[in-house]
Amino acid sequence: MQGSTVARSYAETLFELALADRDVEAYARNIEEIAALLRTEREFRLFLATPRIDSVAKKRVVREVFSGKVPDRLLRFLLVVIDKRRQRVLPAIAEEFIRLVNEHFGRLEVDITTASQPDEALRTELKRRLDALLGRDILPRHQVDPRIIGGVIIKVGDRIMDGSVRRRLQQLRRSLLRAELE
């Protein structure tokens, strides 16, 4: 819980910096790239996480790597994160920041699960219908789960709309088991 509170607090600060620079989308791209770098580049992640390397050396490397590639305030934000020894929370900060950006622009992340990989026409149609149904611009995240047999499962926040064949078969099974035999 504390980690998410810390991440949220830093993300809110970063969001205020992005608004001040009037370049929220660039900040979003940059912080996502930094979080991806931490997830994929083990050496970089270990370098920042290792307590044996002092913060001066870490900040020097971060300046060399990101100077001129990210907005100046974002770079200074990263340096403060290192000063406060919160660099391990950077991926969570990025996640919270993206949530704030999406909220700011009225976008909504939606998980869409289908039994097989949907073609582009189906993806477009699902997005169009969900935009209309939810009254917001959605950001679909497609997943494939062959266990649902067919249909679609849509997850918006903590709300799930299950239109899968698997669920329908389970409902039919329950109904048949409850039915009275003549």
Domains of the chain and any CATH numbers = 2-103 (1.10.520.20), 107-178 (3.40.30)
pLDDT number for residue 1: 42
- pLDDT on residue 179: 81
Contact 93, 31 (CB under 8 A): yes
pTM across the whole model: 0.74
Does residue 39 register a pLDDT over 80? yes
pLDDT over 90 (residue 94): yes
Average pLDDT over residues 108-133: 94
**What's the average model confidence in pLDDT over 22-29?**
93
Neighbours of 40 (CB within 10 A): 9
